[in-house]
Amino acid sequence: MPVAKITKKLVDSLKSAEKQYLVHDQLLKGFGVRVTPNGHKAFFIDYRPGEGGRKVLKKRMVIGVVGKLTCDQARNLAREKLAAVQLGEDPAADREKKRQTLNLREFGKRYLDEEAVRRLKSSTICNYEINLRRHANPHIGHLKITEIARTDIIQMHNAIGEKSPITANRTVETISAVFRYAQDKGLVEEGHNPTKGVRSFKESRRERFLSEEEFVRLGASLRLAETEGIPWANLARDDQSKHAVKVGNQRTVFSSVAINTIRLLIFTGCRLREILNLTWEEVDLERGLLFLADSKTGARAVVLNQLAHNILERQLLKGVYVFATEFEDKPRADLNKPWRAVRRHAGLEDVRLHDLRHSFASVGASAGMGLPIVGALLGHKQAATTERYAHLDASPLRQASDEISLRIEAAMNGTRG
């Protein structure tokens, strides 16, 4: 193999040959340039890992492509890596290990499939999946888990926090859980969790209740959404393009399944995931009850008022889930698109789906119903109040739920006197 001082002039003069050949550097042993039959040129190092010696198999590692590195830059990089070899490192093995290391997008999915499914409720897993897919991955999902630093988390946290401080905090909490699992698997060093020390944004408690006039607007928008359709002026640009059917059609009609899901949230005061994940096994129309196996506060029964009962009775039995998607074995992921359109058309841009639950409780409280009744309808099971709720039978609960839903329906239909 030829040996020469590797300079730009020399490298430029090297021509391709029938077989690959190497040129070793006169100045630095173990450093050289490789030329392939197609004319591709790259800098490399040769070394024997570990304690070295003739009995150790020699390794060759490409360190850079000619043109992206100058000869001097390549020689300096080679000198650093060869020095690391003298200290017992193996650059080629380290590179291969790094290549095999999963990035956050890949390992986050592994965490959800292997760890979260064993330890967390399905509703929590769903929230974690959203935090990773929608919020973390666009910022740092491409980074190897061994490369993610606290500064990366802070930058992501600040970026998400500009729109939603609460979402930013929950995303950091999710990533922290992912890194705890990475430590358990020995994929990162013990104690390495880049979320540590990231200060959460202040979260102020937000209570938003719909007024009677707002219920009127909401009811009108829901009816319009499943009949004539919501005007495009009330849709986000992405929603317009995805829902567009014909050029010139300026309205989007949403499925009755999506709209009825929103209505059931309104008339039951249930949490979003309790309805999205609702299975037919949990529905007992004969007794007028929902038996939720996995709510935020554990298993609980929800008393159905007549309006909620009617919504479920109209729902087609298709697959496992009541409000099924085109994938019958999976619950609907969210209601973002129909809810954004409906609330924008109704002039309720600041209203979240969870505020429907607040509003259900507000209507009950303002009607003079006792707080234990309203609390029982909502499934509030704090240690101090669980015992009070235990003796309440379904009759007063159903009566209270019926009254609340009828008041809301009257407002939504604009018939309240």
SS3 percent helix, strand, coil of the chain, rounded to 5, is 50, 15, 35
The neighbouring-strand residues paired with 31 are: 45
Average pLDDT for 337-347: 94
Write down the mean pLDDT value for the chain. 85
pTM: predicted TM-score of the whole model, two decimal places? 0.57
Average pLDDT (114-125) is: 85
Q: What is the pLDDT of residue 332?
A: 84
In the predicted model, is pLDDT for residue 354 greater than 80?
Answer: yes
Cβ–Cβ < 8 Å for 44, 30: no
Q: Which of 43-47, 120-124, 188-192 has the highest mean pLDDT?
A: 43-47
How far apart are alpha carbons 167 and 46 in whole angstroms?
Answer: 50
Q: What domains does the chain contain, in order, with CATH numbers?
A: 3-99 (3.30.160.390), 104-184 (1.10.150.130), 212-413 (1.10.443.10)
Non-local CB neighbours of 42 within 8 Å, separated by 6+ positions: 33, 34, 62, 64, 65, 66
**What pLDDT band is residue 29 in, cutting at 50, 70 and 90?**
very high
CA atoms within 13 A on the CB side of 77: 17
pLDDT digits (tens, 9 = 90+) for 373-385: 667 677 766 534 3
- With 60 as the cut, is the pLDDT of residue 247 above it? no
Residue 394 has pLDDT above 80, yes or no: no
pLDDT at 389: 32
Three-class SS of residue 44?
strand
Q: What is the pLDDT of residue 295?
A: 72
19 or 121, which is more confident? 19
Model confidence pLDDT, tens digit, residues 136-148: 999 999 999 999 9
Mean pLDDT of 163-182: 94
What is the structure's pLDDT at 205?
A: 67
pLDDT band per the 50, 70, 90 thresholds, residue 182: very high
Taken in order 114, 117, 120, 126, the sign of the CA dihedral is positive
What is 40-85 written as a DSSP string?
A: -EEEEEEE--TT-STTSPPEEEEEEEBTTB-HHHHHHHHHHHHHHH
Q: Which two tokens stand for residue 365?
A: 């409280």
Q: pLDDT tens digits for 47-59? A: 988 766 677 888 8
Distance CA 312, CA 309 (A): 5
Helices within 331-392 (DSSP H only): 336-345, 354-366, 371-378, 383-390
If we measure between CA atoms, which residue out of 144, 146, 55, 52 comes closest to residue 90?
52
* Res 24 pLDDT > 70: yes
SS3 223: helix
Residue with more model confidence, 241 or 32 = 32
DSSP-assigned letter for residue 269: -
Query: Is it the case that residue 246 has pLDDT exceeding 50?
Result: no
Higher pLDDT among residues 245 and 362, named by residue? 362
Residues of the chain above pLDDT 70, percent: 87
The tens digit of pLDDT for each residue in 185-222 reads 888 888 889 999 999 998 876 678 888 899 999 999 99
Instruction: For residues 301 and 397, give the distance between their C-alpha atoms in angstroms, rounded to a whole number.
Output: 11
For residue 385, the model assigns a pLDDT of 36
Whether the CB-CB separation of 370 and 362 falls below 8 Å is answered with no
Non-local (6+) Cβ contacts of 408 within 8 A are 215, 266, 267, 359, 360, 363
In Å, how far are 124, 276, 350, 359 from 214, measured between CA atoms?
A: 31, 24, 12, 11
Structure-block tokens of residue 342 = 């409906």
Helices and strands, counts by H and E, the chain: 19, 10
